[in-house]
């Protein structure tokens, strides 16, 4: 590992030298490339240099410990203890920074929430989840833009699709994909029985044109009049758009905008992200045939989290983490829960890296 870190440090110095020889005006593309490469490895290089400094201080403290006695010996022993703790902390940070980064972490996301089993209560729970993620996005300073929504008419949703834009959105929300389960007494339940309902959440990294190329010959675009609840027409122009990707059969409809051009652009954005996720799933399945990796795509075939209202409890079943802050979480205070999940999967990736590196 020390040799690998030394090589990364050497690369860092080379990039620094390269930037000093480049002009941002004359060679902007190369300059931006160098700056991005530097930003990617700078935290690791800084930690490594701190680590080397600590090792040097430990060596000095050890020498002092071996050549002195009395009060100086005690001081050296205390300093050595502090330095050893700092060494361990830095080493843990370095190992975490060595974990390969998910290339999608910086991307915006397409958030899709759909009512699952449970009838009207499932739709209401889906609306609760969308409100939770919307409030969390506001706390993070992210921008959320509704792409489409299908409501039930009693405060619930059948489906909602939105794009969330901001700094490192996917890195924080990528593990939210899956089946979310709620246990509570519905407002329509006269006898007070607890019902169990579900909603599915999908978090897709927003795909750009360079990520997924769509052949115009492989899509069919249909236009129709926008409709409101109950199916009644809300305008007389054919502004709504339905895009069908013929090879995969994926269909995306968009009618929120009054402009057909804007609806088409939004529909293509969702289609591109779904195709991108489909490609990611194929890659993950090729890597692990026996089980799909939770990292990067999210396993949707099983419940990931339960929201228990009678006990004000949320349990994430993937990491065996429970918190009794259900009200706060549903109001958008997701930070602790998300940090617990992200830390777990980062640790899992670190174990995988260590297992690979330990093989002869």
In a domain, 195, yes or no: yes
Say yes or no: 90 and 227 in one domain.
no
Say yes or no: 189 and 50 in one domain.
no
In a domain, 226, yes or no: yes
pLDDT tens digit sequence for 260-271: 888 888 888 888
End residue of a domain, out of 253, 282, 311? 282
Say yes or no: 116 and 197 in one domain.
yes
The parent domain of residue 257 ranges over 216-282
- Of 144, 174, 178, 175, nearest to 162 (Cα)? 144
Question: Residue 86: exposed, middle, or buried by beta-carbon count in 10 A (0-12, 13-18, 19+)?
Answer: middle
End residue of a domain, out of 34, 69, 97? 97
Say yes or no: 115 and 159 in one domain.
yes
Greatest distance between any 2 Cα atoms in the chain:
93
Q: Number of C-alpha atoms within 13 angstroms, CB side, residue 51? A: 19
Say yes or no: 118 and 206 in one domain.
yes
Identify the DSSP state of 1. -
CATH code assigned at 182:
3.30.70.1660
pLDDT in tens, the chain (360 residues): 778 888 888 888 888 887 777 665 556 667 777 787 888 888 889 999 999 999 999 998 888 888 877 788 888 888 899 999 999 888 888 887 877 778 888 889 999 999 998 889 999 999 999 999 999 999 999 999 988 889 887 889 999 999 999 988 999 999 999 999 999 998 767 677 889 999 999 998 887 765 677 888 888 988 887 665 544 444 556 788 899 999 889 998 888 777 888 888 888 888 888 888 888 777 666 544 433 333 233 333 468 999 999 999 999 999 999 999 999 999 999 999 999 998 888 888 777 766 655 555
> Please, what sign has the CA dihedral across residues 73, 79, 82, 84?
negative
In a domain, 224, yes or no: yes
In a domain, 355, yes or no: no
**DSSP string for 89-136:** HHHHHHHHHTSPPPTTTTS-EEEEEEE-SSTHHHHHHHHHHHHHHHHH
C-alpha dist (Å) from residue 326 to 193, 259, 306? 20, 40, 10
> How many domains are contained in the chain?
3
pLDDT tens digit sequence for 186-232: 876 767 788 999 999 999 888 776 567 788 888 898 888 766 554 44
Say yes or no: 272 and 194 in one domain.
no
Phi, psi dihedral angles at 22 (to 5 degrees): -105, 155
End residue of a domain, out of 41, 75, 97? 97
Say yes or no: 68 and 150 in one domain.
no
> Please, what sign has the CA dihedral across residues 53, 54, 56, 57?
positive
CA atoms of 238 and 245, how far apart (whole Å) = 20
Say yes or no: 184 and 301 in one domain.
yes
**To which H or E segment does residue 198 belong?**
strand 195-205
Taking the model in full, what pTM does it have?
A: 0.66
In a domain, 201, yes or no: yes
Beta strands in 174-218 (DSSP E): 178-184, 195-205
In a domain, 123, yes or no: yes
Say yes or no: 183 and 301 in one domain.
yes
In a domain, 239, yes or no: yes
Helices (H), 233-334: 260-287, 326-330
Say yes or no: 235 and 190 in one domain.
no
Which residues lie closer than 8 Å to 319 by C-beta, 6 or more apart?
Answer: 340, 341, 344
In a domain, 325, yes or no: yes
Instruction: For residue 159, list its beta bridge partners.
Output: 114, 150
Say yes or no: 189 and 308 in one domain.
yes
> Please, what sign has the CA dihedral across residues 116, 162, 211, 292?
negative
């Amino acid at each position: 590992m020390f040799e690998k870190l030394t090589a990364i440090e050497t690369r860092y110095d080379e990039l620094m030298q390269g930037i000093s020889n480049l002009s941002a005006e004359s060679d902007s593309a190369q300059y931006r490339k160098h700056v991005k490469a530097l930003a990617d490895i700078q935290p690791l290089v800084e930690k490594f240099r701190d680590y080397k400094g600590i090792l040097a201080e430990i060596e000095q403290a050890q020498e002092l410990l071996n050549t002195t006695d009395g009060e100086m010996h005690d001081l050296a022993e205390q300093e050595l203890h502090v330095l050893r703790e700092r060494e361990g902390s830095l080493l843990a940070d370095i190992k975490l920074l060595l974990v390969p980064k998910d290339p999608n972490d910086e991307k915006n996301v397409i958030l899709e929430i759909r009512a699952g089993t449970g009838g009207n209560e499932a739709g209401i729970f889906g609306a609760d989840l969308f409100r939770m993620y919307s409030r969390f996005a506001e706390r993070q300073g992210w921008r959320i833009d509704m792409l489409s929504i299908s409501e039930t008419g009693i405060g619930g949703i059948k489906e909602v699709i939105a794009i969330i834009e901001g700094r490192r959105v996917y890195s924080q929300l990528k593990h939210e994909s899956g089946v979310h389960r709620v246990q509570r007494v519905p407002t329509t339940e006269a006898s007070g029985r607890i019902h169990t309902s579900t909603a599915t959440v999908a978090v897709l990294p927003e795909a750009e044109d360079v990520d997924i190329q769509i052949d115009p010959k492989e899509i069919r675009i249909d236009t129709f009049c926008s409709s409101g609840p109950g199916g009644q027409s809300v305008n007389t122009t054919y502004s709504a758009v339905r895009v069908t990707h013929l090879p995969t059969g994926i269909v995306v409809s968009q009618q929120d905008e009054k402009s057909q051009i804007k609806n088409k652009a939004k529909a293509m954005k969702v289609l591109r992200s779904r195709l991108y996720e489909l490609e990611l799933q194929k890659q993950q399945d090729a890597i692990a045939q026996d089980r799909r990796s939770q990292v990067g795509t999210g396993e949707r075939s099983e419940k990931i989290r339960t929201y228990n209202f009678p006990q004000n409890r949320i349990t994430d079943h993937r990491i065996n983490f429970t918190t009794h802050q259900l009200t706060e979480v549903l109001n958008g205070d997701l930070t602790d829960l998300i940090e617990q999940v992200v830390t777990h999967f980062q640790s899992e990736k670190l174990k995988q890296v260590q297992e690979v590196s330990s093989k002869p």
